[in-house]
Amino acid sequence: MSTHTGMGTGAATAGRTKRSSGGDSGHDGRGSRGGRSGGRLGGGGTTSPGRLRALARAELTLLIRTKSVIVTAVLVPLALPFSIRPALDEVDLKAQGLTIGPVLLTSAIGFSFLFAVYTSLVTVFAARREELVLKRLRTGELKDAEILAGTALPALCTGLAQSVLVAVGCTVLLDLPAPPAPHLAVLGLLTGLVLSTALAALTASLSRTVESAQVTALPLVFVSMLGSGMTVPLEVLPEKVSAVCELLPLSPAIRLVRGGWTGELSGYETLESVAVAGFWIVLALWAVRRWFRWDPRR
């Protein structure tokens, strides 16, 4: 069964009430919403949570069938931290007040942001758009935000589960103590997941095909791996370079997660990280609302 057919079956009950044409169709190809008398997603799931669950189940089915996405989303984030361990052994972490445990932990969580959520969702959003799945879903009662959230939910759950698994594994294997500031770790985790999803939707809008989506996602992946404290902690970089890198999209999330485990993030540094993260989230959500493409680009 093709991906197009599978998603079409999962969303077929979304109703076929058409929206009136009109408005600028350059980005979304639709005008105002029509009536709501059509069928409902999930066979009577009239509430927003019900619609989200039905769409997420359909998307999860497709995700499981796509082996390349499974490998990228599940195996790569778990394997990459082990590959950077030799490089970290060459860095004088103790001089910066760091230990290998929190550094590897935050690196693994950062890789989950990039691969379990960001890169996999760039491909998913581009594929669903080119297969007309997103456009079909918009003819029913689903709101635009519900379509994007429901499509992203399986990847978000994967990233969240990976992060929890990594935290437990590092605590056991590396003898890490409980985080002295768990609220910062949770805040950083949620910030990273939300921002990775929004950036994925925006990047998918710039991708002409599913194949090109994998290339379009690479700049942010490389910049984040090298400059957001995933591969090398920002504390070991020159001060001016570190100050610039702290402004990158995923740097605040990594900083908050690491601060939650080290307990050495001051109140000012916490507010600074939250402010930078909030700026990127608002900017990314605004850009998605403005430029996300619902129609195929072919």
Look at residues 152, 107, 131, 142 and name the one whose alpha carbon lies nearest to residue 288.
152
Amino acid letter at 14? Answer: A
Helix (H, G, I), strand (E, B) or coil at 140: coil
Q: Which residues of 165-185 are buried (b: 16+ CB within 10 A; e: fewer)?
A: ebbebbbeeeebeebebeebb
Position 79 scores a pLDDT of 74
Look at residues 102, 124, 116 and name the one whose alpha carbon lies nearest to residue 207.
124
Position 298 scores a pLDDT of 66
271: tokens are 């507010």
The mean pLDDT value of the chain amounts to 81
Domain ranges of the chain: 46-291
Q: What is the mean pLDDT of residues 30-38?
A: 38
Residue 287 clears pLDDT 90, i.e. is over it: yes
Task: Give the list of residues 6+ apart from residue 60 with CB closer than 8 angstroms, or none.
Answer: 153, 154
Amino acid letter at 9? Answer: T
- 15-23: long-range pairs with CB below 8 Å, 24+: 15/39, 15/40, 15/41, 15/139, 15/140, 15/141, 16/139, 16/140, 17/139, 17/140, 17/141, 18/139, 19/138, 19/139
Look at residues 109, 114, 113 and name the one whose alpha carbon lies nearest to residue 168.
109
pTM of the model: 0.80
Name the maximum alpha-carbon separation found in the chain: 66
The 10s digit of each residue's pLDDT in 137-191 is: 888 888 899 999 999 999 999 899 888 888 888 888 777 888 899 999 999 999 9
Return the number of other C-beta atoms located less than 10 Å from residue 49's C-beta. 9
Q: What is the mean pLDDT of residues 32-42?
A: 38
Work out the pLDDT band at 282, boundaries 50, 70, 90: very high
The 10s digit of each residue's pLDDT in 204-216 is: 999 988 889 989 9
Please tell me the distance from the alpha carbon of residue 79 to that of residue 125, in angstroms, as a whole number.
25
Return the number of other C-beta atoms located less than 10 Å from residue 237's C-beta. 17
15: tokens are 């109703």
Alpha helices of 207-266 — where are they, by DSSP H? 210-216, 218-227, 239-245, 251-262
